[in-house]
Chains A and B, each alone.
Chain A
Amino acid sequence: MKDIRVENTDDLLSEVGRLRGEGARLITITGVDLGESIEVIYHFDLEGVINVRAVFDHGDRLPSVSEVFFYARLYERELAEMFDVEIEGIHRGLLLSEDMRGKGPLRKRFKVENVTLVSKEDKYCPR
């Protein structure tokens, strides 16, 4: 496993662009909530797996790599809704239903116990 740590947005985009030039394939984008900040890991396949890591604050606007890798849009949409972060030019929402928008279920602060489930009957046939 090869690990590349980048400090800022420009470094990230140039690193991703360089890997694209070498013929790498983006496997996926993983987000990990570190409490104060969020670590974003871009996994690439280039004769083995290469990880590019960047750490952002929760309020930051994350850059999008979908200019370089067309299909990154799917993973970024998922990342944005699961961690409740802003990503440049990407609209949130891929998997979750509308009543879960803005909650960021993979954040540390999110507790499953606090979710109130809305039954389909109440949602579609209100009394």
Chain B
Amino acid sequence: MPTIVPFGPQHPILVEPIRYLLALEEETVVGVEYEIGYLHKGLEKAMENDYIKDIYFAERVCGICSMVHSTTFVNAVEKLAGIEVPERVKFIRTILLELERLHSHMLWLGIVADSIGFQNLFMLCWRDRELIMDILESLTGNRIHFSMNTVGGLRKDISEKGIRFMLGNLDRFALSVRKIENSLYNDLTVLKRLRGVAYLTREDCKRYGVVGPNARASGYSNDSRMDGYEAYEMIDFSPILKAGGDNLDRVVIRMDEVLQSIGLIRECVRLLPDGEIGEKYKRGVEGETFFRCEAPRGELFYYVRGNGSKKLERVKIRTPTLANLAMMEKVMIGLEFANVPATALFFDPCMSCQDR
């Protein structure tokens, strides 16, 4: 007879609330159930509204990846209205999206390091994340909710001075990442703690509908950036894949993606054209469409339906964390109880996104 142990909704390791019910036999997990909805805000209902106001809501779905939410929503409305935004807008959006990926991955690595008891690395990661936050502040004026997007373009341009500051900070950041990688991969305790834990094969990823870096860490190629939205069609890159599928590879793939993102930003700055930043679109939209972007955590999907006026009829948001939730039933089973808190974080959950 297994013992039922609750994990969450409030737990020292969890930043946001989610509740797991773990069935334990001695130290091993034999069954798991989850309960979500603690952060449900009713945003899909609230977004049955003027689409300009909806940009504000879309940004507030998540506190980490606000840019990717507004970009996906704005792109869906632009697709409905048949607007082609200027090239400069596409490149600036891409730069901001990649900067967001950088700070999201560094935040994740910090929390994960904290969860396995590596306090020093936690502080290093969060110190270096500040370099990215400073860049974002100098480019857009804000650290988290940039409010840069609008239907038809951007609300303001980025300055030459901001770009110079960004390139300088990125060089410092890249050096720090190399140092962190060095101390992380050569630490025997970390390797012992991560290697072979919470193993997921490519077939499991398909079966449980896993998206984003978690899928790519198991060799399941799944990157919406290959759809070629914004400037991604104009820059040459391919998603990073790893075959291991354990917690160690989930760290390695995100560190590699950080370095890849730095390269993508530099490439975008090199190709950044001069020109307009678009015009605000003010007419109604009709019909239905969808759009998907690659958020730091995986594929983000928006479905938008308009009825000819400025007010939208329906907006559906599918966030990557909700797609990744189903596999928890697979990975948790067979784990030792001591590995459960770290594993719950290793899949980079964002409850705010998940509950919407």
Q: Which residues of A contact B (CB under 8 A)?
A: 1, 23, 25-28, 30, 32-33, 41, 43, 49, 51, 69-71, 73-75, 82, 94-97, 105-106, 110, 112
Q: Is the interface of A mostly helix, strand, loop or mixed?
A: mixed
- Identify which of residues 315-338 in chain B touch chain A, using a CB-to-CB cut-off of 8 Å: 316, 318, 322-323, 325-327
Contact A95 to B40, CB < 8 A, known contacts A27-B301, A41-B303, A74-B326: yes
Q: Jot down 28 A-B pairs with beta carbons below 8 A, ordered by A.
A: A1-B289, A25-B209, A25-B222, A26-B209, A27-B299, A28-B303, A28-B323, A30-B303, A30-B314, A30-B316, A32-B305, A32-B313, A32-B314, A33-B314, A43-B301, A49-B292, A70-B208, A70-B209, A70-B326, A74-B325, A75-B318, A94-B36, A95-B36, A95-B40, A105-B42, A105-B45, A106-B44, A110-B45
Closest to A95 in B: B37
Contact A28 to B301, CB < 8 A, known contacts A70-B207, A71-B326, A95-B37: yes
Q: Is B206 an interface residue (CB 8 A)?
A: yes
Q: Are B209 and A106 in contact (CB under 8 A)?
A: no
* Count of interface residues, chain B, beta-carbon cutoff 8 Å: 29
Q: Is B290 an interface residue (CB 8 A)?
A: yes
Closest to B319 in A: A28
Q: Which residues of B contact A (CB under 8 A)?
A: 36-37, 40, 42, 44-45, 206-209, 222, 289-290, 292, 299, 301, 303, 305, 313-314, 316, 318, 322-323, 325-327, 355-356
A contact residues around B44 at 8 Å (CB): 82, 106
Q: Are A95 and B326 in contact (CB under 8 A)?
A: no
Closest to B42 in A: A105
Contact A97 to B37, CB < 8 A, known contacts A27-B318, A32-B313, A70-B208: yes
Q: Are B37 and A94 in contact (CB under 8 A)?
A: yes
Min distance, Cβ B320 to any Cβ of chain A, angstroms: 11
A contact residues around B289 at 8 Å (CB): 1
B contact residues around A74 at 8 Å (CB): 322, 325-326
Q: Are A96 and B37 in contact (CB under 8 A)?
A: yes
Contact A28 to B325, CB < 8 A, known contacts A43-B290, A69-B209, A71-B209: no
Min distance, Cβ B224 to any Cβ of chain A, angstroms: 9
Min distance, Cβ A98 to any Cβ of chain B, angstroms: 10
B contact residues around A30 at 8 Å (CB): 303, 314, 316
